[in-house]
Structure 1
Amino acid sequence: MTITYSCVAHGRAVLAELALTGGSYQEAAAKVLRQVLLKAEPATIIQIGSYVYHTLFIDGITYLCATDNGLDSMAPSAFLKKMEYNKSQRDNNTVFTVKSQVTDVKNIMLRNIDTVLEREIETASIITEGAEDPQATVGNLHAEEFEKTRKIPKRICWKCFKIVITTLTILLSIIIILLRTHIIPT
Protein backbone atom coordinates (compact mmCIF):
# COMPACT_ATOMS: atom_id res chain seq x y z
CA MET A 1 0.00 0.00 0.00
CA THR A 2 1.35 3.40 -1.02
CA ILE A 3 -0.01 6.83 -0.26
CA THR A 4 0.23 8.46 -3.69
CA TYR A 5 -1.45 11.79 -3.04
CA SER A 6 -2.22 13.98 -0.04
CA CYS A 7 -3.65 17.42 0.48
CA VAL A 8 -5.02 19.81 3.08
CA ALA A 9 -8.07 21.84 2.14
CA HIS A 10 -10.27 24.50 3.67
CA GLY A 11 -13.70 23.98 2.20
CA ARG A 12 -13.05 23.18 -1.45
CA ALA A 13 -9.86 25.26 -1.64
CA VAL A 14 -6.75 23.09 -1.56
CA LEU A 15 -4.18 24.77 0.68
CA ALA A 16 -1.32 22.30 0.13
CA GLU A 17 -0.89 19.11 -1.84
CA LEU A 18 1.71 16.52 -2.77
CA ALA A 19 1.52 13.86 -5.48
CA LEU A 20 4.14 11.10 -5.49
CA THR A 21 3.14 9.78 -8.90
CA GLY A 22 1.89 11.41 -12.04
CA GLY A 23 -1.82 11.52 -12.52
CA SER A 24 -4.86 13.70 -12.36
CA TYR A 25 -5.63 13.73 -8.66
CA GLN A 26 -7.09 17.24 -8.63
CA GLU A 27 -10.39 16.31 -10.28
CA ALA A 28 -10.93 13.31 -8.02
CA ALA A 29 -9.86 15.31 -4.96
CA ALA A 30 -12.39 18.04 -5.89
CA LYS A 31 -15.17 15.42 -6.03
CA VAL A 32 -14.09 13.97 -2.69
CA LEU A 33 -13.93 17.41 -1.06
CA ARG A 34 -17.44 18.18 -2.30
CA GLN A 35 -18.75 14.95 -0.81
CA VAL A 36 -16.91 15.52 2.47
CA LEU A 37 -18.45 18.97 2.79
CA LEU A 38 -21.93 17.64 2.03
CA LYS A 39 -21.65 14.78 4.53
CA ALA A 40 -19.67 16.75 7.14
CA GLU A 41 -18.58 13.46 8.75
CA PRO A 42 -15.27 13.37 10.65
CA ALA A 43 -13.83 10.50 8.56
CA THR A 44 -14.80 9.15 5.16
CA ILE A 45 -13.42 6.64 2.68
CA ILE A 46 -14.36 7.08 -0.98
CA GLN A 47 -13.17 5.01 -3.93
CA ILE A 48 -12.79 6.75 -7.29
CA GLY A 49 -11.26 4.70 -10.06
CA SER A 50 -8.36 2.60 -8.82
CA TYR A 51 -7.62 4.91 -5.86
CA VAL A 52 -9.16 5.03 -2.42
CA TYR A 53 -9.45 8.50 -0.85
CA HIS A 54 -9.33 8.73 2.94
CA THR A 55 -10.38 11.97 4.61
CA LEU A 56 -10.33 13.49 8.07
CA PHE A 57 -12.59 16.54 8.51
CA ILE A 58 -11.87 18.69 11.60
CA ASP A 59 -12.90 22.31 12.22
CA GLY A 60 -13.55 23.04 8.54
CA ILE A 61 -10.17 21.65 7.47
CA THR A 62 -10.08 18.48 5.37
CA TYR A 63 -7.01 16.23 5.45
CA LEU A 64 -7.06 13.90 2.43
CA CYS A 65 -4.83 11.13 1.15
CA ALA A 66 -5.14 8.70 -1.76
CA THR A 67 -3.90 5.11 -1.70
CA ASP A 68 -3.62 2.45 -4.36
CA ASN A 69 -4.93 -0.28 -2.07
CA GLY A 70 -8.44 -0.23 -0.63
CA LEU A 71 -7.86 -3.04 1.85
CA ASP A 72 -5.52 -1.16 4.18
CA SER A 73 -7.17 1.61 6.17
CA MET A 74 -4.79 1.71 9.16
CA ALA A 75 -1.86 3.43 7.43
CA PRO A 76 -3.97 6.20 5.80
CA SER A 77 -5.80 6.86 9.10
CA ALA A 78 -2.50 7.15 10.95
CA PHE A 79 -1.11 9.40 8.20
CA LEU A 80 -4.12 11.74 8.36
CA LYS A 81 -4.00 11.90 12.16
CA LYS A 82 -0.31 12.74 12.02
CA MET A 83 -1.05 15.56 9.51
CA GLU A 84 -3.73 16.97 11.81
CA TYR A 85 -1.55 16.59 14.90
CA ASN A 86 1.36 18.48 13.29
CA LYS A 87 -0.95 21.30 12.25
CA SER A 88 -2.57 21.57 15.68
CA GLN A 89 0.83 21.58 17.41
CA ARG A 90 2.07 24.41 15.17
CA ASP A 91 -1.19 26.33 15.63
CA ASN A 92 -1.10 25.86 19.40
CA ASN A 93 2.44 27.26 19.58
CA THR A 94 1.48 30.23 17.40
CA VAL A 95 -1.74 30.83 19.31
CA PHE A 96 0.10 30.57 22.62
CA THR A 97 2.72 33.09 21.48
CA VAL A 98 0.10 35.55 20.25
CA LYS A 99 -1.99 35.12 23.40
CA SER A 100 1.02 35.83 25.62
CA GLN A 101 1.88 38.95 23.59
CA VAL A 102 -1.71 40.17 23.81
CA THR A 103 -1.71 39.55 27.56
CA ASP A 104 1.53 41.51 27.96
CA VAL A 105 0.16 44.46 25.97
CA LYS A 106 -3.11 44.32 27.92
CA ASN A 107 -1.24 44.43 31.25
CA ILE A 108 0.85 47.41 30.14
CA MET A 109 -2.27 49.23 28.96
CA LEU A 110 -4.05 48.54 32.25
CA ARG A 111 -1.07 49.91 34.22
CA ASN A 112 -1.04 53.03 32.03
CA ILE A 113 -4.79 53.51 32.46
CA ASP A 114 -4.45 53.13 36.24
CA THR A 115 -1.69 55.74 36.30
CA VAL A 116 -3.73 58.20 34.22
CA LEU A 117 -6.81 57.63 36.37
CA GLU A 118 -4.83 58.23 39.56
CA ARG A 119 -3.55 61.53 38.16
CA GLU A 120 -7.03 62.53 37.06
CA ILE A 121 -8.45 61.70 40.49
CA GLU A 122 -5.76 63.81 42.17
CA THR A 123 -6.45 66.71 39.81
CA ALA A 124 -10.20 66.39 40.28
CA SER A 125 -9.84 66.35 44.06
CA ILE A 126 -7.69 69.51 43.92
CA ILE A 127 -10.26 71.24 41.72
CA THR A 128 -13.23 70.17 43.84
CA GLU A 129 -11.53 71.17 47.09
CA GLY A 130 -10.73 74.55 45.59
CA ALA A 131 -14.29 74.96 44.36
CA GLU A 132 -15.76 74.15 47.77
CA ASP A 133 -13.74 76.76 49.65
CA PRO A 134 -11.57 78.96 47.44
CA GLN A 135 -10.27 81.05 50.37
CA ALA A 136 -8.97 78.00 52.25
CA THR A 137 -6.86 76.72 49.39
CA VAL A 138 -4.87 79.92 48.97
CA GLY A 139 -2.80 79.39 52.09
CA ASN A 140 -2.20 75.63 52.00
CA LEU A 141 -0.45 73.05 49.80
CA HIS A 142 -3.10 73.20 47.09
CA ALA A 143 -1.98 76.71 46.23
CA GLU A 144 1.35 75.25 45.14
CA GLU A 145 -0.43 72.75 42.92
CA PHE A 146 -2.51 75.58 41.46
CA GLU A 147 0.63 77.59 40.69
CA LYS A 148 2.21 74.59 38.96
CA THR A 149 -0.84 74.02 36.76
CA ARG A 150 -1.02 77.75 36.01
CA LYS A 151 2.63 77.79 34.89
CA ILE A 152 2.17 74.94 32.40
CA PRO A 153 0.61 77.12 29.65
CA LYS A 154 3.37 79.69 30.17
CA ARG A 155 6.00 76.98 29.68
CA ILE A 156 4.32 75.79 26.49
CA CYS A 157 4.14 79.35 25.13
CA TRP A 158 7.80 79.93 26.01
CA LYS A 159 8.85 76.74 24.18
CA CYS A 160 6.83 77.75 21.11
CA PHE A 161 8.41 81.22 21.24
CA LYS A 162 11.91 79.69 21.37
CA ILE A 163 11.14 77.47 18.36
CA VAL A 164 9.83 80.42 16.33
CA ILE A 165 12.84 82.61 17.20
CA THR A 166 15.29 79.79 16.37
CA THR A 167 13.56 79.11 13.05
CA LEU A 168 13.56 82.81 12.12
CA THR A 169 17.25 83.13 13.05
CA ILE A 170 18.18 80.14 10.89
CA LEU A 171 16.14 81.44 7.95
CA LEU A 172 17.66 84.90 8.25
CA SER A 173 21.17 83.39 8.39
CA ILE A 174 20.52 81.33 5.27
CA ILE A 175 19.19 84.37 3.39
CA ILE A 176 22.26 86.44 4.39
CA ILE A 177 24.63 83.67 3.27
CA LEU A 178 22.81 83.31 -0.07
CA LEU A 179 22.92 87.06 -0.62
CA ARG A 180 26.66 87.28 0.15
CA THR A 181 27.53 84.38 -2.16
CA HIS A 182 25.44 86.03 -4.92
CA ILE A 183 23.24 82.95 -5.31
CA ILE A 184 20.31 85.29 -4.79
CA PRO A 185 20.85 88.34 -7.05
CA THR A 186 20.70 91.71 -5.33
Structure 2
Amino acid sequence: MTITYSCVAHGRAVLAELALTGGSYQEAAAKVLRQVLLKAEPATIIHIGSYVYHTLFIDGITYLCATDNGLDSMAPSAFLKKMEYNKNQRDNNTVSAVKSQVTDVKNIMLRNIDTVLEREIETVSIITEGAEDPQATAEEFEKTRKIPKRIWWKCFKIVITTLTILLSIIIILLRTHIIPT
Protein backbone atom coordinates (compact mmCIF):
# COMPACT_ATOMS: atom_id res chain seq x y z
CA MET A 1 0.00 0.00 0.00
CA THR A 2 1.38 3.37 -1.03
CA ILE A 3 -0.01 6.83 -0.41
CA THR A 4 0.24 8.35 -3.88
CA TYR A 5 -1.54 11.67 -3.38
CA SER A 6 -2.44 13.95 -0.48
CA CYS A 7 -4.01 17.35 -0.10
CA VAL A 8 -5.46 19.77 2.42
CA ALA A 9 -8.61 21.67 1.43
CA HIS A 10 -10.89 24.28 2.89
CA GLY A 11 -14.32 23.60 1.43
CA ARG A 12 -13.62 22.67 -2.18
CA ALA A 13 -10.52 24.88 -2.42
CA VAL A 14 -7.30 22.85 -2.31
CA LEU A 15 -4.79 24.68 -0.12
CA ALA A 16 -1.86 22.31 -0.60
CA GLU A 17 -1.32 19.06 -2.45
CA LEU A 18 1.39 16.55 -3.30
CA ALA A 19 1.30 13.77 -5.88
CA LEU A 20 4.04 11.16 -5.58
CA THR A 21 3.21 9.45 -8.87
CA GLY A 22 2.13 10.68 -12.25
CA GLY A 23 -1.56 10.98 -12.88
CA SER A 24 -4.40 13.39 -12.66
CA TYR A 25 -5.75 13.39 -9.14
CA GLN A 26 -7.40 16.82 -9.22
CA GLU A 27 -10.66 15.68 -10.84
CA ALA A 28 -11.10 12.71 -8.50
CA ALA A 29 -10.09 14.84 -5.51
CA ALA A 30 -12.74 17.43 -6.50
CA LYS A 31 -15.41 14.66 -6.54
CA VAL A 32 -14.25 13.36 -3.16
CA LEU A 33 -14.25 16.86 -1.64
CA ARG A 34 -17.79 17.45 -2.92
CA GLN A 35 -18.99 14.19 -1.34
CA VAL A 36 -17.18 14.92 1.94
CA LEU A 37 -18.84 18.34 2.17
CA LEU A 38 -22.26 16.83 1.46
CA LYS A 39 -21.86 14.08 4.06
CA ALA A 40 -19.95 16.20 6.62
CA GLU A 41 -18.74 13.02 8.31
CA PRO A 42 -15.42 13.11 10.19
CA ALA A 43 -13.88 10.21 8.23
CA THR A 44 -14.78 8.90 4.79
CA ILE A 45 -13.35 6.25 2.44
CA ILE A 46 -14.29 6.53 -1.25
CA HIS A 47 -13.25 4.25 -4.14
CA ILE A 48 -12.69 6.00 -7.49
CA GLY A 49 -11.03 4.06 -10.27
CA SER A 50 -8.07 2.09 -9.00
CA TYR A 51 -7.50 4.40 -6.03
CA VAL A 52 -9.01 4.61 -2.58
CA TYR A 53 -9.46 8.13 -1.16
CA HIS A 54 -9.33 8.49 2.63
CA THR A 55 -10.52 11.74 4.21
CA LEU A 56 -10.52 13.38 7.60
CA PHE A 57 -12.92 16.36 7.93
CA ILE A 58 -12.32 18.61 10.96
CA ASP A 59 -13.52 22.21 11.47
CA GLY A 60 -14.15 22.81 7.77
CA ILE A 61 -10.71 21.53 6.76
CA THR A 62 -10.49 18.31 4.75
CA TYR A 63 -7.32 16.19 4.87
CA LEU A 64 -7.29 13.76 1.95
CA CYS A 65 -4.94 11.04 0.76
CA ALA A 66 -5.16 8.49 -2.05
CA THR A 67 -3.80 4.96 -1.84
CA ASP A 68 -3.40 2.26 -4.46
CA ASN A 69 -4.80 -0.48 -2.20
CA GLY A 70 -8.12 -0.51 -0.37
CA LEU A 71 -7.23 -3.26 2.09
CA ASP A 72 -5.13 -1.19 4.49
CA SER A 73 -6.94 1.70 6.16
CA MET A 74 -4.70 2.07 9.22
CA ALA A 75 -1.75 3.75 7.47
CA PRO A 76 -3.88 6.37 5.64
CA SER A 77 -5.80 7.07 8.86
CA ALA A 78 -2.57 7.60 10.79
CA PHE A 79 -1.19 9.76 7.96
CA LEU A 80 -4.28 12.02 7.98
CA LYS A 81 -4.23 12.37 11.77
CA LYS A 82 -0.53 13.32 11.60
CA MET A 83 -1.33 15.98 8.98
CA GLU A 84 -4.06 17.42 11.23
CA TYR A 85 -1.77 17.32 14.28
CA ASN A 86 1.01 19.17 12.40
CA LYS A 87 -1.45 21.85 11.28
CA ASN A 88 -2.55 22.45 14.88
CA GLN A 89 1.07 22.63 16.05
CA ARG A 90 1.92 25.13 13.29
CA ASP A 91 -1.13 27.26 14.18
CA ASN A 92 -0.03 27.43 17.82
CA ASN A 93 3.53 28.31 16.76
CA THR A 94 2.26 31.01 14.39
CA VAL A 95 0.16 32.70 17.07
CA SER A 96 3.08 32.58 19.50
CA ALA A 97 5.42 34.04 16.87
CA VAL A 98 3.04 36.91 16.12
CA LYS A 99 2.61 37.66 19.83
CA SER A 100 6.38 37.66 20.24
CA GLN A 101 6.81 40.02 17.28
CA VAL A 102 4.17 42.39 18.68
CA THR A 103 5.97 42.43 22.04
CA ASP A 104 9.30 43.11 20.33
CA VAL A 105 7.84 45.99 18.33
CA LYS A 106 6.25 47.43 21.48
CA ASN A 107 9.61 47.32 23.30
CA ILE A 108 11.37 49.01 20.37
CA MET A 109 8.73 51.72 20.26
CA LEU A 110 9.11 52.38 23.98
CA ARG A 111 12.89 52.65 23.63
CA ASN A 112 12.49 55.06 20.69
CA ILE A 113 10.07 57.22 22.67
CA ASP A 114 12.50 57.29 25.62
CA THR A 115 15.34 58.33 23.30
CA VAL A 116 13.27 61.12 21.77
CA LEU A 117 12.24 62.36 25.22
CA GLU A 118 15.87 62.36 26.41
CA ARG A 119 16.90 64.44 23.42
CA GLU A 120 14.07 66.87 24.00
CA ILE A 121 15.20 67.29 27.62
CA GLU A 122 18.75 67.96 26.38
CA THR A 123 17.38 70.57 23.97
CA VAL A 124 15.47 72.30 26.76
CA SER A 125 18.54 72.34 29.00
CA ILE A 126 20.65 73.84 26.20
CA ILE A 127 18.05 76.54 25.69
CA THR A 128 17.87 77.44 29.37
CA GLU A 129 21.67 77.47 29.74
CA GLY A 130 22.14 79.81 26.81
CA ALA A 131 19.38 82.23 27.79
CA GLU A 132 21.95 84.78 28.94
CA ASP A 133 23.22 85.42 25.37
CA PRO A 134 20.10 85.75 23.16
CA GLN A 135 21.97 85.74 19.84
CA ALA A 136 24.01 82.60 20.68
CA THR A 137 20.89 80.99 22.12
CA ALA A 138 18.92 81.63 18.92
CA GLU A 139 21.64 80.16 16.73
CA GLU A 140 22.10 77.12 18.99
CA PHE A 141 18.36 76.59 19.23
CA GLU A 142 18.01 76.67 15.45
CA LYS A 143 20.67 73.98 15.10
CA THR A 144 19.33 71.69 17.81
CA ARG A 145 15.68 72.15 16.85
CA LYS A 146 16.18 70.55 13.44
CA ILE A 147 17.93 67.41 14.74
CA PRO A 148 15.17 66.13 17.09
CA LYS A 149 12.49 66.81 14.47
CA ARG A 150 14.33 64.66 11.95
CA ILE A 151 14.91 61.93 14.50
CA TRP A 152 11.29 62.08 15.64
CA TRP A 153 10.06 61.74 12.05
CA LYS A 154 12.42 58.83 11.43
CA CYS A 155 11.16 57.06 14.56
CA PHE A 156 7.56 57.84 13.62
CA LYS A 157 8.08 56.41 10.10
CA ILE A 158 9.71 53.27 11.54
CA VAL A 159 6.84 52.76 13.98
CA ILE A 160 4.17 53.28 11.29
CA THR A 161 5.98 50.97 8.86
CA THR A 162 6.37 48.28 11.52
CA LEU A 163 2.72 48.52 12.55
CA THR A 164 1.63 48.36 8.90
CA ILE A 165 3.72 45.23 8.31
CA LEU A 166 2.40 43.55 11.46
CA LEU A 167 -1.18 44.44 10.59
CA SER A 168 -0.68 43.04 7.08
CA ILE A 169 0.76 39.80 8.50
CA ILE A 170 -2.15 39.43 10.92
CA ILE A 171 -4.70 40.09 8.13
CA ILE A 172 -3.02 37.51 5.88
CA LEU A 173 -2.94 34.94 8.69
CA LEU A 174 -6.61 35.59 9.46
CA ARG A 175 -7.65 35.32 5.80
CA THR A 176 -5.78 32.04 5.32
CA HIS A 177 -7.31 30.73 8.56
CA ILE A 178 -3.90 30.07 10.10
CA ILE A 179 -5.11 32.15 13.05
CA PRO A 180 -8.57 30.80 13.88
CA THR A 181 -11.30 33.40 14.04
Tell me how far 1:101 sits from its aligned partner.
4.5
Q: Given the superposition, is the C-alpha separation of residues 173 and 21 from structure 1 closer, same or farther in structure 2, using an over 3 Å criterion?
A: closer
Tell me how far 1:87 sits from its aligned partner.
1.4
Structure number with the bigger relative contact order (C-alpha 8 A, sep ≥ 6) is: 2
Q: Given the superposition, is the C-alpha separation of residues 11 and 132 from structure 1 closer, same or farther in structure 2, using an over 3 Å criterion?
A: farther
Tell me how far 1:97 sits from its aligned partner.
2.2
TM-score between both structures, scaled by the size of structure 2: 0.56
Tell which deviates more after alignment, 20-29 or 116-125.
Answer: 116-125
Summarize deviations over 1:28-48 as a string: whole Å, max 9, x none.
000000011111111111111
Q: Given the superposition, is the C-alpha separation of residues 132 and 37 from structure 1 closer, same or farther in structure 2, using an over 3 Å criterion?
A: farther
Q: Secondary structure at the match of 2:71?
A: coil
Q: Given the superposition, is the C-alpha separation of residues 113 and 75 from structure 1 closer, same or farther in structure 2, using an over 3 Å criterion?
A: same
Tell me how far 1:99 sits from its aligned partner.
3.4
Aligned length: 181
Distance 1:6 1:12 in 2: 14
Q: Secondary structure at the match of 1:120?
A: helix
Summarize deviations over 1:37-78 as a string: whole Å, max 9, x none.
111111111111111100111121111000011110000001
Summarize deviations over 1:122-181 as a string: whole Å, max 9, x none.
9999999999999999xxxxx999999999999999999999999999999999999999
Q: Given the superposition, is the C-alpha separation of residues 32 and 112 from structure 1 closer, same or farther in structure 2, using an over 3 Å criterion?
A: same
Structure number with larger C-alpha Rg: 1
Stretches of structure 2 lacking an aligned partner (at least 5 in a row): none
Tell which deviates more after alignment, 158-167 or 17-26.
Answer: 158-167
Distance 1:66 1:82 in 2: 15
Q: Given the superposition, is the C-alpha separation of residues 5 and 122 from structure 1 closer, same or farther in structure 2, using an over 3 Å criterion?
A: same
Runs of 4+ in 1 over 6 A off after TM superposition: 103-137, 143-186
Stretches of structure 1 lacking an aligned partner (at least 5 in a row): 138-142
Distance 2:143 2:156 in 1: 20
1:183 is aligned to 178
Distance 2:8 2:98 in 1: 24
RMSD: 19.8
